[in-house]
Chains A and B, each alone.
Chain A
Amino acid sequence: MRDVAIISFAQTEHQRAVSHINEVEMLMPLLGEALRGAGIGKDRVDFVCSGSSDYLAGQPFSFVMTLDAFGPWPPISESHVDMDGAWALYEAWVKMQMGHIDVALIYAYGKSSPGEIRRVLSRQLDPYYLGPLWVDSVSLAALQARCGLEAGAFTVEQMAEVAAARRRQAKSNPFAQLSGDVDASTLLAQEEFVAPLRKHDCPPITDGAAVVVLAAGDVARELCERPAWIRGIDHRIEPHALGVRDLTRSVSTEQAAARAGVGEGKVDVVELHAPFTHQELILREALALDDAVVVNPSGGALCANPIMAAGLIRFGEAASRIWRGEADRAVAHATSGPCLQQNLVCVLEGA
C-alpha cells in the first residue's frame, strides 16, 4: 500500500440553517482555508473528489454548480459521489494508490435546512414497497433502538449517557452546533420523541461542509509536520431490506474494521459517525473498543450532523488529533443508509 496521509482539514461552524449563502459560498472559504493549511495553491492539487446529494439541494446535478467553488480552470481531473464525502476520500485514496498523483482535495457539503430532512431521507428507501409508506429516518432509527433495547444490547440510560458525554466534549469544539453540561437523568426526564428515542438520542438538523487534503509519501512529509497516515481503509454494505438484518449489530462495520486492521494495535481515539445515541453503542461493540479509547472528542454527529459531510468530518477530526500529537493511532468511521446499512472504517497513524 502506498503511503497516503491526511494533511489538512477545514469545516464550517455548523448551524441549524445557513439561509443567507448558497453551497458555493459556504465552501469557498473552506477550500481556501484547507489549501492554506496544507501550504499549497490549487495548482498543486492533482485530483478533486466531492460528496453531496441532489436531494438536499432540491436540484438535479447540484454538484455541478458547487464545483465552481474550486474554480476548475484550467480543466481539472475530478469526480463526484452521491455519498458522504468519506467515500469521496476513499475514491481519491484509490487513485493515489496507482502512484501517478500526489495531492488530492476532497470536499463534502449538505444543507438540510431547506427541506424536511426526515421525509427527504425516506426517499432512500426501496421505491416500490417501503418508500410509498414514507417511513422517515427517525422512525427507522427508533425501530433499531427498540430492537436493541428488547434484545438487552443497551439501555435508555446508556443512550442518555452517550448524549450527555458528547455534549460535554463538544464544549471544546468551536464548530459544534450543540454543546453544554447536561446530565443523563435530566435528559431522561424529557418525554419521548419517537419512542423509544428522545430528542437527545437524535442528531440535530445541520447545514455544513468540510474539506480534506490528502498527500502521498514525501509530499505529505514536506507539507505536514506529522501527517495522519492512512494505514487501512475499507467499506462494506448490508442488505437494504431491514427484515433480513440483525439491527442490533453492525456486521458491515465489523467486516470493514477487520479489513482495515483496527484490532492490530492500540486505538487512542475514535471518531464514529453515529447520528443516534444507540448507533454509537452498536458501533463501539462492532469495533470491539475497550473503555480506554476516547470516543468522539468532537462531540460527533450528535452535536453537528451536516448530512453528506458528517462522515468526512470524522476523518478530519481524527487526523487533527494525530497532527497535534494527542493520538498515535486513530479510527475514523462513516455511515450511510437507514439503520447503519453501509459503513466505512479507516485506521490513521502518526508514524
Chain B
Amino acid sequence: MGSERVAVVGIGQTKHQATADCSIAGLVRQAAQRALDDAQMTWSDIDAVVIGKAPDFFEGVMMPELYLADALGATGKPMFRVHTAGSVGGSTAIVAQDLVAAGIHERVLTVAFEKQSESEAMWALSVAMPFQPPMHAGAGGYFAPHIRAYIRRSGAPDHIGILVALKDRLNALKNPYAHLHEEGITFESVKDSIMLWDPIRYSETCPSSDGACAMVLTNEKGGDAAAADGRKPAWVRGTAFRSEPTMFAGRDQVNPRGGQECAADVYRQAGIVDPRRDVDVVEMYVPFSWFEPMWLENLGFAAEGEGWKLVEDGVTQMDGDLPVNCSGGVLSSNPIGASGMLRFAEAALQVRGQAGEHQVDGARTAVGHAYGGGSQFFAMWVVGDEKP
C-alpha cells in the first residue's frame, strides 16, 4: 500500500445551537446524512466510520461510539473512536484520511460532535484532582493568564481582542449554521460586555453549543469522479499532529513549540514556503478572541509579537489578504468535540467554492487548525483545489 491521494467529497453540519430538539444519535446522523447527500452517496457506500468527540464526561456516555454505531450505519463495518482533547475534531479527520491514504478503505465517513446542552462542560473540566493544578472553573480561567502574558510580551493594545470577536461574530451572520447570530453587535457592545476572566470578556468567549460535523473522504478515484460530475473536491495536501507535555517548565504556553512544529510539518508536506503568501484562507481554533493573534504567530503567519498588527490592520477580515475564520469560528459556534472538524471542513468548503455567503473569492489553498488541552495538542491540515 502506498500513499493514496485523498479528497473531501462530502461535508455536512448541523445548525449549531444551545438546545437541540434531538438525541445525540439524531445530531450525529443529521450531520452524517448531509455529508452523504453532498457526496451523492448512501450509507451502504461507506466502508468505515471514524468518530471523535471531547471527553465522554461532557454527555455522561462512556465510549459513545458503541451506542452510536446503529445511528451511523456502522453495522458490519469498522468503527473507530478518536479522543485527543480539544484538537479531537481535527485529529479524527486525520485518522479518517489515513485510512484512505494508506489504501485500506476507499470511502470513509468521519463525524465529530458535542452536545453541551446535555452536560455542563465547565464543571466537567473542573474536577479537582490530587497533585494537579485546578482548572479554575473551565477553560477561560486556564487560558486568561496565557493571554495576559501575550499582551505583556507583544505590547498589543487592549482592543485587539474586541476586534477579533467583532469580526468573527459579524462573519457568523453569513453562516446559517453558526450558533450566534448577533445582528446588533458593535465594538462598544463587545467592549461593554461583562469581564469574565480578565482580560477575557463575555463577548470574547465561545458559546456552549450542540452540534456535529461530518465529512466523506475518498481516494483519488472518488475525487476524480466527483470532479468529473462538476462537484469540486477538496484535495488533502498535508496533515500533522503534535503533542507536548502539560507540566513542563521549559514549555511556552503562549507560543507553543508543538504548534510551531505541527505547522512547519504540514506546510512542508503541502509545499507551502511562505504561509502568509501561499495560504488563501485560514480556519483556526480561536475559543477566546486573543487566540487569533497568538496563533497567527504560532502558525507562522506573523513574526513573534506581530500577530496583533495583522488584526488591527484588517488583514484577517473577510476582505483582507489573509481571511481568518470566515465561518464565524469557534467564537460563534463551539460544539467542543466537533469544533476542530468544523475548522477542517470549513477550510475544505472554501477551496471547493461552497462556503456560500462566507466564501472567499478564489480560495485555492486553505489551512484547518485545531488545538486542545492546555495548548499542548495540535492537529492541522492543508487542503487545496488542485490534486497534490
Residues of chain A whose beta carbon lies under 8 Å from any beta carbon of chain B = 1-2, 22, 48, 53-55, 58-61, 63-65, 67-68, 71-83, 87, 90-91, 94-95, 97-100, 120-121, 123-128, 131, 234-241, 251-252, 255, 336-338, 341-342
Contacts and interface: CB of A to CB of B under 8 A. Distances in A.
A71 B245 contact: yes
A54 B56 CA distance: 7
Given A127-B59, A239-B69, A61 B85 contact: yes
Given A79-B95, A83-B81, A237-B74, A73 B245 contact: yes
B84 interface: yes
A64 B257 contact: no
17 contacts: A1-B1, A22-B131, A60-B56, A60-B58, A60-B127, A72-B244, A72-B245, A73-B251, A74-B261, A78-B242, A83-B81, A123-B56, A237-B74, A237-B75, A238-B69, A239-B70, A251-B76
A81 B82 contact: yes
B240 interface: yes
Dominant secondary structure of chain B at its interface with chain A: loop
Contact of B104 (A65, A73, A97): A97
B67 A73 contact: no
Interface string B52-73: 0011111111111111111000
A75 B243 contact: yes
6 smallest A-B Cβ distances: which pairs?
A60-B55, A97-B102, A75-B258, A78-B243, A123-B62, A55-B62
B252 to A, nearest CB: 11
A60 B57 contact: yes
A79 B90 CA distance: 11
B2 interface: yes
A120 to B, nearest CB: 7
Interface in B245-301: 245-248, 250-251, 256-258, 261-262
Contacts of B24: 127
Interface residues on B, range: 35 or more
A81 B80 contact: yes
B56 A65 contact: no
A74 B257 contact: yes
Given A80-B82, A82-B81, A97-B102, A73 B129 contact: no
B242 A75 contact: yes
A268 B251 CA distance: 49
Residue in B54, B58, B246, B247 with the greatest tally of chain A CB atoms within 10 Å: B246
Contacts of A336: 63, 66
Contact of B241 (A77, A87, A125): A77
A90 B94 CA distance: 14
B245 A238 contact: no
Contact of A97 (B1, B81, B132, B373): B1
B36 to A, nearest CB: 18
Contacts of A61: 55, 85, 125, 373
Contacts of B44: none
Interface string B203-225: 00000000000000000000000
A237 B75 CA distance: 6
B91 interface: yes
A75 B257 contact: yes
Contacts of A91: 80, 82, 95, 98
Contacts of A98: 1-3, 98, 101-102
Given A97-B102, A99-B3, A82 B63 contact: yes
B78 interface: yes
Contacts of B65: 82-83, 237
Residue in A54, A78, A82 with the greatest tally of chain B CB atoms within 10 Å: A82
